[in-house]
């Protein structure tokens, strides 16, 4: 039961101070104003009616909850104290907000509480329309494995700076952790020809196309390609040439000043990227690599360039984000000539 003290508005101030003095106020709910009286939420403890003897105590049929700041705060008010204590230590602490959709990773032990977690996240993020359980990615196309746990709808529009990304979280992946690298690529590209070998929905294509002369955006996943076309229109970047297909076979040769290899498992595509360059140019090669062998991406680039009979200067190797414990997502900037 959700109890409240009903009191005349004129006496509300003194009553609130009294209730708070004895730590009886339930701050998870808001004080409700109705006509000439207010309802002050109180805790449902054993002796509450005796402690507040002389006051009108009512059961609230439609309590109004205060906005919670954390999942823990939001869930606590829906569960008995003992049950909450059992799951408190494994509740998710972080989540992603993409446009008006929430993505959250949930331990399998909390499967029976997934809908409650979804409800809590919608309460915290009032502008969002749905919450999805993020269960990871699968296959070479990195298709998302997600489950709707609250609200409805998977399609959203996410904005980063002056770029707009439209996508469906149930069909394609979107990594907020790559944001800094997307911004960087948008800054370093000049009036030049660029090939984005694994374009997805346009993660790198869109920011680069704001300045590039031409961008060839290659994508093998039909769902991602659909949203790539949508995002080209939304961002009004007419210099983009979208290509549906496997970049191993459809990448143009001898045309690019710069090639972006944004897939974290693409070392077999390095010869294709080298052939895509004009006589010289930049390759931005991504890889997930254990910290113990952090030089591996550089060695792979150097080896591929040498086999192609060319020279290479390594500009830098940069951390994009943590991929998993002990494993980093990195990018190697390599100038091939």
Per cent of the chain over pLDDT 90 is 77
**Mean pLDDT rounded to a whole number for the chain:** 93
pLDDT at 22 over 90: no
- CB within 8 A of 120, min separation 6: which ones? 68, 71, 74, 75, 78
pLDDT at 66 over 80: no
| pLDDT (mean) for 159-180 | 90
* CATH match for 3-59 among 3.30.390.50, 3.30.70.2580, 3.40.50.300, 3.30.1380.10: 3.30.70.2580
For residue range 283-314, what is the model confidence (pLDDT) as tens digits? 999 999 999 999 999 999 999 999 999 999 99
C-alpha–C-alpha distance, residues 112 and 118, integer Å: 12
Entry pTM: 0.76
pLDDT (0 to 100) of residue 140: 63
Q: Where in the chain is the domain with CATH 3.30.300.110?
A: 71-153
- CB within 8 A of 28, min separation 6: which ones? 41, 65, 66, 68, 73, 76, 77
C-alpha–C-alpha distance, residues 147 and 139, integer Å: 18
DSSP string, 6-51: EEEGGGHHHHHHHHHHTT-B-TTB--EEETTEEEEEE---TTHHHH
The CATH code for residues 173-336 is: 3.40.50.150
- Annotation: CATH topology of 71-153: GMP Synthetase; Chain A, domain 3 (3.30.300)
| β-sheet with 256-261: strand ranges across | 240-244, 214-219, 193-196, 256-261, 277-290, 327-336, 312-324
Q: Where in the chain is the domain with CATH 3.40.50.150?
A: 173-336
Q: Where in the chain is the domain with CATH 3.30.70.2580?
A: 3-59
pLDDT (0 to 100) of residue 251: 98
């Amino acid at each position: 039961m959700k109890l409240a003290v009903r009191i005349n508005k004129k006496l509300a101030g003194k009553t609130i101070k009294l209730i708070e003095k004895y730590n009886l106020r339930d701050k998870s709910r808001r004080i409700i104003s109705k006509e000439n009286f207010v309802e002050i939420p109180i805790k449902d403890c054993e002796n509450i009616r005796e402690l507040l003897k002389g006051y009108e105590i009512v059961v609230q049929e439609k309590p109004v909850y205060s906005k919670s700041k954390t999942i823990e705060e939001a869930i606590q008010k829906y569960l008995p104290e003992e049950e909450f204590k059992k799951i408190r230590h494994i509740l998710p602490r972080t989540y992603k907000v993409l446009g008006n959709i929430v993505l959250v990773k949930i331990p399998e032990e909390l499967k029976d509480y997934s809908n409650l977690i979804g409800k809590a996240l919608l309460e915290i993020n009032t502008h969002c329309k749905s919450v999805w359980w993020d269960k990871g990615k699968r296959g070479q196309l990195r298709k998302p494995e997600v489950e709707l746990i609250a609200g409805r709808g998977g399609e959203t529009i996410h904005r980063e700076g002056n770029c707009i990304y439209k996508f469906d979280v149930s069909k394609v992946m979107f990594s907020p952790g790559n944001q800094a690298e997307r911004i960087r690529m948008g800054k370093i590209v000049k009036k030049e020809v660029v090939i984005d070998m694994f374009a997805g929905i346009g993660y790198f294509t869109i920011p680069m196309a704001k300045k590039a002369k031409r961008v060839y955006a290659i994508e093998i996943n039909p769902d991602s390609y659909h949203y790539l076309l949508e995002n080209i229109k939304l961002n009004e970047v007419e210099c983009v040439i979208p290509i549906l297909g496997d970049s191993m076979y459809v990448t143009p040769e001898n045309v690019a000043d710069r090639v972006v290899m944004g897939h974290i498992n693409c070392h077999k595509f390095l010869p294709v990227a080298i052939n895509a360059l004009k006589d010289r140019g930049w390759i931005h090669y991504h890889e997930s690599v254990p910290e113990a062998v952090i030089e591996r991406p550089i060695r792979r680039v150097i080896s591929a360039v040498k086999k192609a009979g060319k020279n290479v200067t390594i500009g830098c190797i940069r951390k994009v984000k943590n991929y998993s414990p002990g494993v980093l997502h990195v990018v190697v900037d390599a100038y091939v000539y």
